[in-house]
Amino acid sequence: MIGYIATSYDWIPVDTQNTLSGFIHAELYKSEPWKIHVFDPFTLYSGELKNQLLAKNLRTAEPRAGKIDYDQPGKLIGNWFRQGTGGYDGNVNPSNLERYWDGHLSVAPDYLDPTSTDVSIGNWNGIAKQFVVRGPVNAADVSANSGIAKYELLELKYLTASGKQWVDREGYAVGVHPAQDTSLVGTIAFQVLSGEKLKVEKFPGKTASQVSGFTSNAIVYER
């Protein structure tokens, strides 16, 4: 026993001798070099202590510690960066890290309920936002052969297994998952291109049926 934690805080174990395999270009994360070397913290424990920790874990799906490296070559799933922004650090001045995340984009399973898909984007109408995709989709099935994929985005709200709203860091609850009955925010269109590039356009307030294709507002992302 070292002590007690009065409030929540972030921590992560790092092993620089091993690199996560799910980042296609790990060098894009050079501004936070530890990120590509994280590993499952539950492997540091054993016996009853490990069981007690797992019992407090909101995520019940395997891997119990979650996953951050979802990239698959030629597929929509994973992390993307707006073309020309230099990856995770966003080509910002080191003395001013404001909005380095502006060019970030992630299309990946929800961190608590991997049967749901989230879109996290650094700039949605000028604000960094995270949404849940309407319905069951699998971004790993979307490739260059798929053409345009249109995902309807809903406000992200979590519910417990009993249907009660759960607020992030509110405490332990069973079966936490994104709701599918929240307000439609808009549609985002994707087209996987060759060379690990992705064409993206946001259509705030529109349904997928109202989006016929890309306009001059489309942006290219890369990884």
Residue 13 lies in a domain: no
How many domains does the chain contain in total? 1
Q: What is the pLDDT of residues 131-168, one digit of tens each?
A: 999 999 999 999 999 999 999 999 999 999 999 999 98
Q: What are phi and psi of 55, to 5 degrees?
A: -65, -20
- Written in H, E and C, the secondary structure of the chain is CCCCCCCCCCCCCECCCCCCCCCCCHHHHCCCHHHHHECCHHHHCCHHHHHHHHHCCCCCCCCCCCCCCCCCCCECCEEEEECCCCCCCCCCCCCCCCCHHHHEEEEEECCCCCCCEEEEEEEECCEEEEEEECCCCCHHHCEHHHCCEEEEEEECCEECCCCCEECCCCCCCCCCEECCCCCEEEEEEEEEECCCEEEEEEEECCCHHHCCCCCCCCEEEEC
Banded model confidence at residue 78, pLDDT cuts 50, 70, 90: very high
Q: What is the mean pLDDT of the segment spanning 25-47?
A: 95
Question: What's the rounded Cα separation, in Å, for the pair 124 and 191?
Answer: 18
What does the angle CA 157 – CA 201 – CA 183 come to, to the nearest 5 degrees?
25
Residue 2 lies in a domain: no
Residue 18 lies in a domain: no
Find the domain containing 145 and state its range.
26-222
Banded model confidence at residue 215, pLDDT cuts 50, 70, 90: very high
Q: What is the pLDDT of residues 79-112, one digit of tens each?
A: 999 999 999 999 866 666 678 999 999 999 999 9
Q: What is the pLDDT of residue 9?
A: 75
pLDDT at 126 over 70: yes
Residue 12 lies in a domain: no
Q: What is the pLDDT of residue 94?
A: 61
